[in-house]
Amino acid sequence: MQEKYIDETKQGEAFAVAERPDNSKKLFLESYGCQMNFSDSEIVASILNEQGYNTTANVEEADLILLNTCSIREKAEQTVRMRLSQFKNLKKEKPTLTVGVLGCMAERLKTKFLEEEQLVDLVVGPDAYRDLPNLLKETDDGRDAINVILSKEETYADINPVRLGGNGVTAFVTITRGCDNMCTFCVVPFTRGRERSRDPHSIIEECKNLWDGGYKEITLLGQNVDSYLWYGGGPKKDFKNATEMQQLTAVKFSQLLDMVATAVPKMRIRFSTSNPHEMTEEVFRMIAKHDNICKYVHLPVQSGSDRILQLMNRQHTRQEYLDLIRKGKEIVPEISFSQDMIIGFCTETEEDHQLTMSLMREVEYDYGYMFSYSERPGTPAHKKMEDDIPADIKQRRLAEVIALQGELSRKRMQGYVGRNHEVLIEGTSRKNESQWKGRNSQNAVCVFEKLEGQKLGDIVTVFVYDNTQGTLLGTTVA
Ligand code: SAH
Ligand code: F3S
C-alpha cells in the first residue's frame, strides 16, 4: 500500500467483483491519483452496473471508456492527456465508443476537453456521478454531455460500491468528501468542493457488509478525516449554537473510530488522511484503546519551516506538529508515521530546506511521499506568489529529502527486525511466487514463505529476521 498517489496508469486492474452477470455493455474504467479517486470509481461502477454496464480490463471490447482523473500535479494531468489521445485513435476505428473524463480534471477544465480539444464526449465532476445515466442518454443521442456541479451535501452514502481490482481483503470506505482547508498550493478545494461528512450509520453498514463479504481491513478515507463531524442528520442551523449542537448529536472522528472499531471488532482499521492542525489526542487514545485500529498515522507536513508553512496556509507550526507527534508516541509507543512533503515551494531558501530535513530526522518517519512543487492554475499560490525556485534546485533538494527518507525508512525497518509481527496476508509477493506479502500494524510491508494451510486474508504471526529499505523479511511462527 505504499503506492498512495498513482500518477501512472494501472492497466488491467479494472476487473470487478459482484457485478450483474446479465449486463451486456462493457465499461473500461481507469483511475489516477489518490485513494479517494479509486474509491469514487467503485461508486461509478456501481451506478453504471444498474445501467447495464459491467467493467472490463480489455479496452478493445469497451463500449464506454471512463478516466477518473487527478489534477494534483501537472505530471498527473499530462499522463491523462496522453491516455486520452490514445483513446481518440481508438474512437476513429469504433465510432460507437463513448469516452469520458471524471474526477478532478473534469472539474478543473470543465468544457475545455469538449469544446477546445474535442478529446471526449462526456465530462463529469466528482459530485455529479448520480447524473451519469442521464448524461449517457445524451451521448447515446450523439450529443456531448457535461455535469460539473459541485454539491454541499452529496456523500453517495446509500450507494453500495462495486469493489474494483482489489484483493478481496482490503477496501476503502469514504467518510468525508471535499476540503475546506485552502492550503495555498492545493487544487483539491476547487475540484472537490466543500467538505461534508457521511452519515455514520451508512459507514458502519458498509463496514459490516465488507466484513460479511470476507474483507479483513478497511481504510476510512477523507481529504481530512479529523474534521469528520456528523450533526445527527440535522443541518447546522437547527441548533442554537455550536456547543449545543456538539452536546446534542455530533459525532466526531474519534467517536466514529470508536463506533467502527466496536461494530467490526476483528476488522483491521486504518484511516487517511490526518491533518496536523485538526488531529486530536483522542484519536491516538482510540488507537491505544482498540487492538483492531492499526498503529499508523499518515500525517502530511509539507515543510519543516514555519515561514513556508505560513505561506502554504497550513494552520500549524513546526513545534505544534512535533508536539502532536510526541503525544502520539507517548500514547501509542509502537506507532509509526509517514509524511507528505512539498519541496521547492515559492521562496523556499536553503535554510527552510534544512529545517525540513531536521524535522524529518526528529520525527523518524517510516515512509514518505515527497513531491517537487507544481504550480496549479487558480490556486492562491498561483494567483499571489511566484513559482521562483529553479527546477534544478528543486530537483537537488528533492533528491536530498528522498535520500534522507530512505535512510530513515531503513532505520525504522531495522527496528522491526528480531521480533514477531501480526501480518495480514494481502497477496503473493511480486518478486517471488512462493512468498506472501502483507503488512504489519505499522503499515510496513512484509514478505515471507508461504506455508500450507495459509490463505489470502489470514492474519499470521511472522518473525522478522531481516529488512531492506522498505520491506521486512520474515518467516511464519508455527
Ligand atoms: N489531504 C489530502 C491531500 C491531498 S493532496 C490527502 O488526502 O492526502 C496529497 C499531497 O499532494 C499533499 O499532501 C501534498 O504533499 C501534495 N501536493 C498537493 N498539491 C501539490 C502541488 N501543487 N505540488 C506538489 N505537491 C502537491
Ligand atoms: Fe489540499 Fe490542504 Fe485540503 S493539501 S486536500 S487543501 S488539507
The closest residue, in CA terms, to atom 8 on ligand 1 is 273
Q: Residue 11: its pLDDT value, please? A: 36
Q: Any residues with CB less than 8 A from the CB of 13 and at least 6 apart, and which? A: 57, 164, 165
- 274, 358, 397, 384 alpha-carbon torsion, rounded to 10°: 60
Strand spans (E) along 286-360: 296-298, 336-343
Find the 72 Cα to ligand 1 centroid distance in Å: 6
Cα–Cα distance, 224 to 315 (Å, whole number): 13
Q: Which ligand is nearest to the CA of 345?
A: 1
pLDDT in tens, 124-142: 999 999 999 999 999 999 9
Domain ranges in the chain with CATH number 3.40.50.12160: 12-147
Cα–Cα distance, 268 to 459 (Å, whole number): 10
Q: Which three cell numbers stand for residue 459?
A: 492474519
The closest residue, in CA terms, to atom 5 on ligand 1 is 72
Q: Would you place residue 247 in the very low, low, confident or very high pLDDT band (cuts 50, 70, 90)?
A: low
pLDDT in tens, 369-400: 999 999 999 999 999 999 999 999 999 999 99
String of DSSP letters for 406-472: HHHHHHHHHHTTTSEEEEEEEEE-SS-TTEEEEE-TT--EEEEE--TT--TT-EEEEEEEEE-SSEE
Q: Residue 202: its pLDDT value, please? A: 94
Mutate to test the pocket of ligand 2, among 5, 73, 182, 183 (most ligand atoms within 8 A of CB): 183
The chain-wide mean pLDDT, for the chain, equals 92
- CB of 302 shorter than 6 A to ligand 2: no
Provide the CB-side half-sphere exposure for 360 (13 A, CA). 30
Index of the ligand 2 atom closest to the CA of residue 224: 7
Residue 64: strand, helix, or coil: strand
Find the 132 Cα to ligand 2 centroid distance in Å: 27
Q: Which ligand is nearest to the CA of 301?
A: 1
Decide: 103 and 126 in contact? Cβ < 8 Å. Answer: yes
Summarize the confidence of residues 280-297 as an average pLDDT: 98
- CB of 101 shorter than 6 A to ligand 2: no
- CB of 189 shorter than 6 A to ligand 2: yes
- CB of 271 shorter than 6 A to ligand 1: no
Cα–Cα distance, 232 to 250 (Å, whole number): 6
pLDDT in tens, 209-223: 999 999 999 999 999
Q: Would you place residue 113 in the very low, low, confident or very high pLDDT band (cuts 50, 70, 90)?
A: confident
The closest residue, in CA terms, to atom 2 on ligand 2 is 183
Closest CA to 16 of 49, 40, 62, 64: 49
Strand spans (E) along 223-267: 229-230, 251-252
Q: Which ligand is nearest to the CA of 181?
A: 2
Q: Which ligand is nearest to the CA of 344?
A: 1
DSSP code of 152? S
CATH fold group of domain 420-476: OB fold (Dihydrolipoamide Acetyltransferase, E2P) (2.40.50)
Q: Residue 234: its pLDDT value, please? A: 47
At how many degrees (to 10) do helices 318-331 and 281-289 cross? Answer: 20
Q: Which ligand is nearest to the CA of 6?
A: 1
Range from 112-116, 191-195, 202-206, 217-221 carrying the lowest mean pLDDT: 112-116
Find the 168 Cα to ligand 1 centroid distance in Å: 28
- CB of 275 shorter than 6 A to ligand 2: yes
Find the 409 Cα to ligand 1 centroid distance in Å: 21
Domain ranges in the chain with CATH number 2.40.50.140: 420-476
Domain ranges in the chain with CATH number 3.80.30.20: 170-414
Cα–Cα distance, 345 to 204 (Å, whole number): 40
Question: Could you say which architecture CATH assigns to the domain 170-414?
Answer: Alpha-Beta Horseshoe (3.80)
- CB of 302 shorter than 6 A to ligand 1: yes
Q: Residue 20: its pLDDT value, please? A: 83
> What percent of the chain lies above the pLDDT cut of 70?
92
Q: Residue 205: its pLDDT value, please? A: 95
Index of the ligand 2 atom closest to the CA of residue 179: 3
The closest residue, in CA terms, to atom 1 on ligand 1 is 223
Closest CA to 101 of 63, 167, 145: 145
Find the 393 Cα to ligand 1 centroid distance in Å: 20
Range from 35-44, 91-100, 231-240, 241-250 carrying the lowest mean pLDDT: 231-240
Whether the per-residue pLDDT at 1 is higher than 50: the answer is no
Mutate to test the pocket of ligand 1, among 176, 273, 301, 342 (most ligand atoms within 8 A of CB): 342
Cα–Cα distance, 258 to 19 (Å, whole number): 32
- CB of 221 shorter than 6 A to ligand 1: no
Q: Residue 428: its pLDDT value, please? A: 96
Decide: 18 and 54 in contact? Cβ < 8 Å. Answer: no
- CB of 328 shorter than 6 A to ligand 2: no
Whether the per-residue pLDDT at 15 is higher than 60: the answer is no
* Phi and psi angles of residue 21, each rounded to the nearest 5 degrees, phi first: -65, -25
Index of the ligand 2 atom closest to the CA of residue 223: 5
Index of the ligand 1 atom closest to the CA of residue 222: 7
CATH fold group of domain 12-147: Rossmann fold (3.40.50)
Q: Which residue has the higher pLDDT, 283 or 22?
A: 283
Q: Would you place residue 166 in the very low, low, confident or very high pLDDT band (cuts 50, 70, 90)?
A: confident
Q: Which ligand is nearest to the CA of 401?
A: 1
